[in-house]
Structure 1
Amino acid sequence: MQLKDRKMPQGGGGRSVAFSGKKKKEQLRARKERKINIPNPKYNNSEVEEAEKAENSYISVVTDALEAIRGPGHLDEVEELNLQPRAQQNSSSKRYNLKFKKDKDEEKERLKTFHYAKLDTICGSDMEVEINDFYPPGLNFPTRPAWRKNMSKKELDHQENRYFRLFCDKLDKDFAHQDLSLYELNLETWRQLWRVMEMADILLIIVDARYVACQFPPYLYEELSEKRNKNIILVMNKCDLIPPELVLAWEKYLMCHFPSLLLVPFSSLEGVRKKRGLMRMAAESSLRLVEACQKLVGGKVNLDSWRNKIEEERDITFDEECEVQENIVEEPDTSPLEHQRFNDGILTIGTIGHPNVGKSSLINALMGKKVVSVSRTPGHTKHFQTIFLTPKVKLCDCPGLVFPSKVSKPMQVLHGSYPIAQYRDPISAVHYMASRINVPQILKLQHPEKGTAIEWTPYFISEAWAKKRGFFLKSKGGRPDTSRGANELLRLCLNGHRSLIMYIAPPGFHENIHCFENDEKLKDIILIQGIKKDNAIEELEELQEGQLILQDNSEESDDEDQDMASEAPCRNPFELLMDDE
């Protein structure tokens, strides 16, 4: 086949001469320049030139402003996470990817020192923290800058971009000498948060009950409650993974520091799974949330239909692997909006929270059936979506957001803000976890260095688990795949499986635990958790006998491994967490 554009240079005697790739690129560039210079008879050349000049001037101003704010090479410091395969990539999927600041080389080297570091036991009162430990004074989050109704889309975009860059620059400068955590650097995601804050009558701040102090920014409470006069409900999701006494302790602590806050313990799924895939929605938790909303709304909106819907479907089980119903997704319009309370007689509820706190599971529980897909991957919910729970109750959900804080990166990995699969040094996070829970004893691990007095280190724990699970590197002489072993240990802790349950407590919890054990509200918390005492005792006995620990089996298939990793968590075996005390 003859090529029209590619004319091969000929040497003497008609012989072909090599035509390099560099010369081909120059040829293609010349063709593009010729096409650009060809005048288009459909348009007036002077009008086109003026339009191009105005557009180029605007782009130049914006570019100069951004470069002045972010400094040279700023974009190289940001990494995008949860990227989709090329076949699935589109403008919307890439638009809302998680964006964090890249780790510096010296930080990567520092984390490697934890691989063989001695494990310092941290338990009991050492696990008690104040919220201000993670959110010191002066820390804040970006809010939508002032806007006018007659602003064009370009003007608004330019203003928000400039404000966001200035905010990030100031935050990094003010906390340059402190260990500031990774936080969301994607402006599109913050815009969706602004939209939800403007639309909602009631805002649900959803936190993982194990890490309340890490995921409840005081500056968010001040912005919503004091400056915007919004009604707030703090939802302690996954409360079935912590002792009921701890739920009461956090409730007392939060009511003392945030008086206008309503707190609702929540367990998205009730009961232990009897058969593979079958779950029952958490009716008790959902009804408590309905009551809290009714208390804030008063008689302005009738929520009886929502309450009746949950009560009718409380005993219905669903298949966790069933096909998800179609979501009601809005076009991603994040332009400013003036709030109208109970617009058209409809209660609008907005959800705010870090990634992986269980917002999608909570929505399914409130709806009474599975309406949104659920994933353990941070950033799974990519866009703003509106779901009508009833004709009078509308719920607005936006992607999880990592707020600025001083939460350490290993802790961000363990509570799901940073994707475990994309964490390049999982063994360093195992050090953080194993210092707080006795992983070798709980999982009955055998030390790789038999017959020696070598102590447990994060590397040895990861290696021992890799051997137990049959994770080996074929390309490296069959050595244990320690990275994969560490990765799975982190996932088990994140999902609350196999008693690898880590949590933090408010000040004075362990000293005053007897007061919470005798509290009258304890029975209500146990009812919400969906835990029966007899079942908890039986599972604890099974765990101590080793029946819930994976046995070595080299013939296990990949499907069986996946099923093991997705089993329901053990309920209330908290005595094992006190082994080191």
Structure 2
Amino acid sequence: MSIQWYPGHMNAAKKKAAEQMENTDLVIEVLDARLPEASCNPMVEELRLFRQRPCLKILNKVDLADPVATAAWSDWYNAQEGVTAYPMTTKKPADVARIPDLCLSLAPHRGVPTKPLRIMIMGIPNVGKSTLMNALLKKKVAKVGDEPAVTKIQQKLYLGKNIILVDTPGMLWPKIALASDGLMLAASHAVGSNALIEEEVAVFLAEVLLEQYPHLLVARYGFNLDGMDAIAVVEGVAARRGYRIKGGDLDFEKGAHTFLQDYRTGTLGRISLETPVSRAARLAQHDVDMAEKARIAAEKAAIKAANSARGKRGT
């Protein structure tokens, strides 16, 4: 299943972000701590690197992520030039309160009355940008909702006298290269419901949990995992919750929805869907797959050309 979701307002948001980047000193990119690189928008990287802007990468929802994986991601990002990783949750005011000082440390030449620090806050839909803005400013200035793409326009706000914040709409990108990225984004509710099939996303999530967090499935649902595959996990959730359709069969759709909600809310436990190691392996496999597709396409083109040449000789 290949998931793609790029509504029209996101293209307009990209153009405005590109214009604003010239007058920005620092980018705060809000990532989902459970899937940092899958939730890292390559367009944001492209825009900020073109202007050589430093970046505070906030690993948000850290309370829902595997702490071991989060520590590995923090090290991975901190090793990059001009990047500082900050694992946090907007649920803790103390976490939020540290952000202004971190930003000033990344742009020490700004943050005075004559040169205010200009910050652009960016990230994918439903990653917690608006909640972060409200927490930083200690008042409701941005809409918050449990659906992707609540924010659709830029807005400029002041954090004290010497820091200017620009909030941007949540943006995905036109083509998600790795199918697993699309599925992780869908599982974490960063993709509009019209662009996915929940049952397929739930099966993908079940595969990950069977491989990496089987103990959480046992703890939450009391499963005996012997011989159980991903489809059986979702069926098991439906059975445990008593979800049945007319005729008595299990309601797989409702079971899938509940399973995804248990993951999204943290009811299942602290789960990370990728690590730097698993990310590298997926990228390597993607390169192999792309090379194989290119080889097959070249062979087909060569055969077509040879057949065409033979046809011309025969006439």
Go from structure 1 to structure 2 and tell me whether the alpha carbon gap of 1:218 and 1:188 turns closer, same or farther (over 3 Å shift).
closer
1:507 to 277, 299, 306: 277
Contact 1:241 1:496 in 2 (8 A): yes
Residue aligning to 2:188: 415
Corresponding residue of 1:312: none
Give 2:262's aligned residue. 492
* Residue 456 of structure 1: aligned partner: 228
Deviations, residues 271-310 of structure 1 (Å, cap 9, x unaligned): xxxxxxxxxxx22x223321222213326424xxxxxxxx
Give matches, 1:300-339, under 5 Å: 300-302=110-112
Aligned to 1:254: 77
Residues 1:465 and 1:349: Cα distance change in structure 2 (over 3 Å) = same
Distance change in 2, residues 1:223/1:384 (3 Å): closer
Q: How do residues 351-500 of structure 1 correspond to structure 2 at under 5 angstroms?
A: 351-403=121-173, 404-408=175-179, 409-419=182-192, 421-422=193-194, 425-437=197-209, 438=214, 440-445=217-222, 455-473=227-245, 476-477=246-247, 479-499=249-269
After TM superposition, the structure 1 = structure 2 runs for residues 208-227 of structure 1, keeping only pairs within 5 Å, are 208-217=32-41, 220-225=44-49, 227=50
CA contact (8 A) 1:492 1:500 kept: no
From the superposition, tell whether residues 414 and 390 of structure 1 become closer, same or farther in structure 2 (CA, over 3 Å): same
TM-score under structure 2 length normalisation: 0.73
Cα distance in 1 for partners of 2:85, 2:223 equals 43
Task: Check 1:462–1:218 CA distance in 2 against 1; reply closer, same or farther (3 A cut).
Answer: closer
Which runs of structure 2 are paired with 1:515-554 in the superposition (5 Å)?
A: none
Whole-angstrom distance in 1 between the partners of 2:219 and 2:188: 20
Deviation at 1:400, TM superposition (A): 1.0
Quote the Cα distance in structure 2 between the aligned partners of 1:232 and 1:345: 19
Q: Which protein is richer in helix relative to its size?
A: 2
Aligned to 1:239: 62
| Residue 202 (structure 1) aligned to one of 26, 29, 41 | 26
Aligned pair partner of 1:229 in 37, 40, 52: 52
Give the SS at the match of 2:36.
helix
Contact 1:431–1:457 (CA under 8 A) maintained in structure 2: no
Q: Answer yes or no: is the 8 Å Cα contact 2:66–2:270 preserved in 1.
A: no
Say whether the 8 Å CA contact 2:5–2:195 is kept in structure 1.
no
Q: For residues 496 and 233 of structure 1, what CA distance do their matches in structure 2 show?
A: 25
Give the number of equivalent residue pairs.
269
* Cα pair 2:26 2:120 within 8 Å, conserved: yes
Q: TM-score, normalised by structure 1?
A: 0.42
Shift of 1:427: 2.0
Q: Note closer, same or farther for the CA distance 1:431–1:369 as it changes in structure 2 (3 Å cut).
A: same
The verdict on how the C-alpha distance between 1:424 and 1:471 changes in structure 2, with shifts beyond 3 A counting, is farther
Does the Cα contact within 8 Å between 1:445 and 1:461 map onto a contact in 2? no
- Identical aligned residues as a percent: 23
Letter in 2 for 1:413: A
- Cα distance in 1 between the residues matched to 2:152 and 2:232: 37
Larger Rg: 1
Q: Is the 8 A contact 1:459 1:482 kept in 2?
A: no
Give the drift of 1:211: 0.8
Shift of 1:350: 0.8
- Which residue of structure 1 lines up, in the alignment, with residue 103 of structure 2? 293
Q: Does structure 2 conserve the Cα–Cα contact (< 8 Å) formed by 1:350 and 1:397?
A: yes
